[in-house]
Amino acid sequence: MAEIEGFRDLNKKFSKLMAVATQKQLETALVSGALLIANKAKSNAHVITSTMRRSIHIGGHTEKTPDFKAGEGYSDLGSVPSGKNSVVVKIGSNLKYAAVEEFRGGSHAYLRPAADSEADAARLEVAKALEILILKAAG
């Protein structure tokens, strides 16, 4: 029976990667990119009292924000997990009027423009965080 040279070592490294890349660590990588979008959304938000800016947060990824749901007075970006191994983070505000500000049209939209302008930088940030996970596993 033929054996591929280095296969066992490669298999060990893949096993380490799977152990290192837990859901919590993948969430952390996503949050690192989401922070860029959230910060841009805060600078975009229409300001009267700064309450809107303070309310913008990243949620949906920890037990601390179990009630962060779209369509219930929340304005958010994010998606519904497609499986048990999915990782999702949401960016938004829990203020009742946040969705009105975002979706009424005109110059008050704050979240979508932030996501559009920071998408490339956020992807790069997530990629860097994932690279650190992979290097840690390979080490």
User: What pLDDT does residue 81 have?
Assistant: 56
Q: What is the pLDDT of residue 12?
A: 77
At residue 139, the pLDDT reads 66
The pLDDT, as a whole number, for residue 2 is 60
Instruction: Output the pTM of the full model.
Output: 0.72
What string of pLDDT tens digits covers the 139 residues of the chain? 566 777 777 777 777 766 666 777 788 888 999 999 999 999 998 877 788 899 898 876 544 444 444 444 445 555 555 555 677 788 888 888 888 888 887 678 899 999 999 999 999 999 998 888 777 766 6
Residue 66 has a pLDDT of: 43
Task: Give residue 108's pLDDT.
Answer: 81
pLDDT of 82 reads: 57
pLDDT, position 125: 94
State the DSSP string of the chain: ----TTHHHHHHHHHHHHHHS-HHHHHHHHHHHHHHHHHHHHHHS--SSSHHHHH-EEESSSTT-TT--TTSS-EEE-----STT----EEEE--TTHHHHHHS-GGG--HHHHHHHHHHHHHHHHHHHHHHHHHHHH-
Domain ranges of the chain: 27-79+86-138
